[in-house]
């Protein structure tokens, strides 16, 4: 889904371009710089890389809830994949799995996503990673909607000599967040705000 979403988001005059205050010449360079930071990791590795102080990490909802969500998704993926594959050899010998996994290793798709060698464990981790970020990650982004509902909130661009975003900026950021984290609360908040305009 996100791979196909680029066709709506990334063209000049697409949704993301119109949301943020970047010149056309800078937009794709900015996007490319962001993509270069993407690296495959398990949630535990992601948390570890943040070097959070233990006294903060132990109660941080992102970490605590994220670990629980990751564990549930990984158990499900492991059980499901385990029906079809019981060993690294079975995974590696499946042409469709090799082609799927190669997509994440391909420079055409990503800029060195840092994939480990294909194995049963790395396949389960990749699928867990994908489900985790497509569900939990988008729900987290949707939770940010409260910050974009007010004109003085988080806008992708604010007109020169103004302290608030204009109507166009509001609609662009609301559409981006609304389609990223589709929850009933977002839809309700968005409809209420749009009706007030």
Residue 51 to residue 49: CA distance in whole angstroms: 5
At 33, the pLDDT band (50, 70, 90 cuts) reads confident
| Structural domain contains residue 139 | yes
**Range scoring the smallest mean pLDDT among 56-60, 94-98, 166-170:** 166-170
124 within some domain: yes
The reply to whether 113 falls in a domain is: yes
Tokens representing 139? 């729900």
Mean pLDDT of the chain: 78
Least trusted range by pLDDT, from 40-54, 79-93, 96-110? 96-110
Question: Cα 80 from chain centroid?
Answer: 23
Q: What is the dihedral of CA 44, 135, 186, 152, to 10 degrees?
A: 40
Is residue 30 in some structural domain? no
Q: Give me the helix-helix angle, 184-196 and 167-180, nearest 10°.
A: 170
Cα(128)–Cα(132) distance, integer angstroms: 6
Sort 101 into a burial class: Cβ within 10 Å, 0-12 / 13-18 / 19+.
buried
| 147 — pLDDT class (breaks 50, 70, 90) | low
- Domain membership of residue 78 (yes or no) is yes
When pLDDT is averaged across residues 38-60 and rounded to a whole number, the result is 91
Q: Could you tell me the residue range of the domain that residue 133 belongs to? A: 40-147
Q: Which residues are within 8 A (CB) of 13 and not within 5 positions of it... i.e. 6 or more apart?
A: none
Poorest-pLDDT segment among 68-77, 87-96, 117-126, 183-192: 183-192
Residue 161 lies in a domain: no
Query: What does the pLDDT look like over 111-142, one tens digit per residue?
Result: 677 889 999 999 999 999 988 987 777 666 65
Classify residue 185: in a domain, yes or no. Answer: no
**CA pair distance 196, 184, nearest whole angstrom:** 18
**Residue 71 or 194, more confident:** 71
pTM of the model as a whole: 0.68
Whole-number pLDDT of residue 177:
65
Count of domains for the chain: 1
pLDDT at 68: 93
Q: Are 140 and 186 in contact (CB under 8 A)?
A: no
Helix 95-105 to helix 120-132 angle (10° resolution) is 60
1 pLDDT tier (thresholds 50, 70, 90): very low
Residue 52 lies in a domain: yes
> Average pLDDT of 33-50?
86
């Amino acid at each position: 889904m996100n791979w196909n979403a680029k066709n709506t988001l990334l063209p000049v005059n697409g949704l993301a371009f119109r949301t943020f205050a970047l010149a056309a010449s800078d937009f794709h360079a900015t996007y490319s710089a962001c993509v270069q930071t993407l690296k495959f990791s398990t949630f535990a590795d992601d948390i570890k890389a943040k070097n959070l102080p233990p006294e903060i990490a132990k109660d941080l909802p992102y970490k605590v809830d994220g670990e629980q969500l990751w564990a549930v998704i990984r158990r499900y993926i492991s059980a499901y994949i385990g029906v079809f594959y019981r060993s690294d050899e079975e995974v590696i010998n499946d042409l469709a799995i090799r082609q799927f996994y190669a997509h994440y290793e391909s420079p055409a798709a990503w800029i060195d996503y840092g994939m480990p060698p294909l194995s049963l464990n790395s396949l389960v981790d990749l699928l867990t990673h994908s489900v985790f970020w497509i569900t939990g990650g988008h729900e987290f982004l949707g939770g940010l909607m409260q910050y974009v509902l007010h004109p003085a909130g988080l806008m992708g661009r604010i007109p020169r000599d103004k302290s608030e975003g204009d109507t166009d900026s509001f609609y662009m950021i609301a559409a981006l967040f609304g389609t990223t984290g589709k929850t009933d609360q977002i839809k309700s908040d968005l409809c209420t705000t749009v009706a007030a305009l």
